[in-house]
Amino acid sequence: MDLVSKLGFGCMGLTGAYNSPLSDEDGISIIKDAFNKGITFFDTADVYGGNANEVLVGKHRVDTSVPIEDTVGELKKLVEEGKIKYIGLSEASPDTIRRAHAVHPITALQMEWSLWSRDIEDEIIPLCRELGIGIVPYCPLGRGFFGGRGVVESLPAYLALHPRFRRENLEKNKNLYTRIENLANKHGCTPAQLALAWVLQQGDDVVPIPGTTKIKNLNDDIGTFALKLTKDDLKEISDQFGLYNTSELNLVCREEINEEGSLKGQRRQL
């Protein structure tokens, strides 16, 4: 049985308690140093730094020095031991998905997918369907944009710095909101419901995960199931938000892992 280290590390002070919070860089540096020196027990809690502590301690991205085959291989052992049931991936490239799936069937893939983030329709969606992998779209409402955020609602400070919501881009993207608002009126629903319904009805293998802090929005999201769109409806909506409508969608670079394990830049529609 693996034992935790005799000495643990209390993480509360990293995000400020009896002191000023450290920068993420400094905090992560200390955590890594502690781990490299044998400490394997790190204490954190959601009340430390107003959730910031758990976010800092839990930061993760793909370790490019570890082949995906090794990672999934270890998860496969957990499946065989009955400790977990399924394995999923998030933000993976087609190459990574294939390599992971070859080691153990991948059950679900989480990717951003909405009316204004559709690049996964090129390769990712067909690949998932070829391999029988479920699709879990995050931000199906465009980070709240299709719910009116930044248009009919004020913009939270944390989104004001996001490329899509910067002033010059937001002004262009308001045209998109007008389009979906007109279509929503036609279907007797809200723009958010139409945007969510479009994602929901892309297939039985699609399970979007919209989030909200308001009961009303939750009820609206659930109410989306009552909205039935025909193939012609879906096409009409899709055509209004063309797959490569780059004149109105801000582009940023997404880093993905290629087969050599190094980072490559890929243009991504936002």
Q: What is the pLDDT of residue 259?
A: 37
Q: What angle do CA 65, 69, 73 make, to 5 degrees?
A: 115
Mean pLDDT score of the chain: 83
> For residues 196 and 141, is the Cβ–Cβ distance under 8 A?
yes
- For residue 187, the model assigns a pLDDT of 96
- With H, G, I as helix, E, B as strand and everything else as coil, classify residue 262: coil
- Asked whether residue 264 carries a pLDDT value surpassing 70, the answer given is no
8 A C-beta contact, residue 205 and residue 79: no
What structural domains and CATH numbers belong to the chain?
9-57 (no CATH), 68-269 (3.20.20.100)
| pLDDT for 247 | 33
Give the integer Cα–Cα distance in Å for 73 and 128: 20
| Nearest C-alpha neighbor of 98 from the set 53, 121, 68, 143 | 68
pLDDT at position 159 is 66
Percentage of the chain modeled with pLDDT above 90: 51
Stronger pLDDT, 245 or 4, i.e. the higher one: 4
Stretch (H or E) spanning 77: helix 68-80
Most confident of 57-66, 227-236, 237-246: 227-236
| Cα–Cα distance for residue pair 1/152, rounded to 1 Å | 56
> What residues are annotated to the active site?
48
